[in-house]
Amino acid sequence: MKFFIDTANLAQIQEAHDLGVLDGVTTNPSLMAKEGISGQENVIKHYLAICDIIGDGAVSAEVIATTFDEIIVEGEALAKLHPSIVVKVPMIKDGVKAIKYFTEKGIKTNCTLVFSSGQALLAAKAGATYVSPFVGRLDDISTDGMQLIEDIRLIFDNYGYETQILAASVRTPMHIITCAKIGSDVITAPLSAITALLKHPLTDSGLATFLADHAKAAAAKV
Ligand code: E4P
């Protein structure tokens, strides 16, 4: 399973990259705004800085446009920035048409804001590289986000769709583990959820004991 980090924060992207487990980054307009990134020039600079850290990973850059012609213009400009850029397109009618267009042009896409298996099926039919079902936002409205990942896995496997399931709006380490059990191709999560996977109290207490025993043995030798 691939690990993407869901942030536009360069320090966090660098930290996850340094851990050696990072395959990509997902951003969205809200995450860019959170970092105070606005204006075309700054947005472009920021995507390039992310691509510099990630190297040949995948960096999802979301279009703001919502009509076919405008999505194409914006998406093509984003795709030209760096070979790692994946054009992130919302699950709307013009978005699906744009995904089909980008697919035919060999431009990678991530269909975002997916909340049903029917939407995921349409994105796969259009040839999306990734489809992003938002697990956490479904959980927020008392709907089982993980059930959606399971349903999409079944549908894609039934027909051999190559579109990768990118579980998004993943917020906890348990979300990540459940996605891995189901067979999600990718998860995108905040740094806190990724690093939480490191933690186990028995690891901490076991390491403390090993180090204390080693120190005792070393002191006894002197
Ligand atoms: C997906 O690519 C989105 O950026 C993201 O996962 C949304 O997560 P949120 O629901 O925690 O905002």
Which CATH number does the domain housing residue 99 bear?
3.20.20.70
Q: Which domain holds residue 91?
A: 2-221
Q: What confidence category does residue 221 fall into, taking pLDDT thresholds of 50, 70 and 90?
A: confident
How big, in percent rounded to 5, are the helix, strand and coil portions of the chain? Answer: 55, 20, 25
Looking at the predicted structure, is the pLDDT value of residue 222 above 80? no
- The three-state secondary structure class of 143 is coil
15 CA from centroid of ligand 1 (Å): 19
Instruction: Answer yes or no: is the C-beta of 125 below 6 A from any ligand 1 atom.
Output: no
88 among known catalytic residues:
yes
Backbone dihedral region for residue 20 (phi beyond 0: left; psi -120 to 50: alpha; all else: beta): left
Mutate to test the pocket of ligand 1, among 60, 169, 171 (most ligand atoms within 8 A of CB): 169
Q: What confidence category does residue 215 fall into, taking pLDDT thresholds of 50, 70 and 90?
A: very high
Instruction: Answer yes or no: is the C-beta of 163 below 6 A from any ligand 1 atom.
Output: no
Whether the ipTM is more than 0.90: the answer is yes
Q: How many domains does the chain contain in total? A: 1
131: nearest Cα among 118, 156, 114, 148 = 114
Give the active site residue among 45, 80, 88, 125: 88
Mutate to test the pocket of ligand 1, among 2, 6, 184, 185 (most ligand atoms within 8 A of CB): 6
What atom of ligand 1 comes closest to residue 26's alpha carbon?
2
Question: Rounded CA gap, 185 and 163, in Å?
Answer: 9
User: pLDDT tens-digit profile of 113-155?
Assistant: 999 999 999 999 999 999 999 999 999 999 999 999 999 999 9
205 CA from centroid of ligand 1 (Å): 34
